[in-house]
Amino acid sequence: QAVVSTQSTGDEGMANLLVCLSGNTELAHLSVNYCNLTVPSGALIAELLTKSAIAILEVAGNALQCDGVAQLVDVLCTQDIPLKSILLADNGIDSHGKGSQRGPFMTAKIIRRWLTCTQYLELCDLRDNDIGDLAARELMDGLTDRATAGLENIQLLVTCRIDEDIYKTIQSLGKKSKGGKKKKKKRKKK
């Protein structure tokens, strides 16, 4: 596990980390939370994932915004990367990014494409991003696509600042299956 969290590494530090960790087949967990990463780091992280064995990625509290997240997830859609967990909470996935070419809806469409095809993912954390109802509905449809395709459920965490019905549906679709029905206990007669 490599933890660089709460360091002011920025995009330059991420580029250096890419050089250091490329080809590393031992590292399974990378945490770069709150490291002042911005849009360019999305492509750098994606490149690192294609050149390493990282299965758990924590990138919360940065400013990847819609464009950086889209760059990252687009690579996940096209490469067979066995990523089990990705934490993208509080990354400015909203319509407020300066110079952003994509908004939350377009980013959600890319995430939906990945949710629909990945066999490895167990957790995707998008909390504390103001994605809005349209993007949330797109993510909800991605979970529905997974169920239709017979893929395992994943836990998708989103902000509660969306339509209540969409939020509840995402929560219900993302619950882990328990592996069958519970048997009722028989009461003993006295």
* Cβ 137 vs Cβ 166: under 8 Å: yes
User: What confidence tens digit (pLDDT) does each residue in 117-151 have?
Assistant: 999 999 999 999 999 999 999 999 999 999 999 99
Q: In this predicted structure, what is the pLDDT of residue 1? A: 75
User: What confidence tens digit (pLDDT) does each residue in 36-57 have?
Assistant: 999 999 999 999 999 999 999 9
**What burial letters (b/e) apply to 70-89, b meaning 16+ CB within 10 Å?**
bbbbbbbbeeebebbbbbbb
Name the stretches of the chain with pLDDT < 50: 177-185
Q: In this predicted structure, what is the pLDDT of residue 180? A: 41
Phi–psi pair at 138, nearest 5 degrees: -65, -45
In the block, residue with structure tokens 């339509």: 163
Q: In this predicted structure, what is the pLDDT of residue 99? A: 64
Is the Cα dihedral 36, 40, 46, 52 positive or negative?
Answer: negative
pTM of whole model > 0.85? yes
Q: In this predicted structure, what is the pLDDT of residue 33? A: 96
With 0-12 CB in 10 A as exposed, 13-18 as middle and 19+ as buried, what is 67? buried
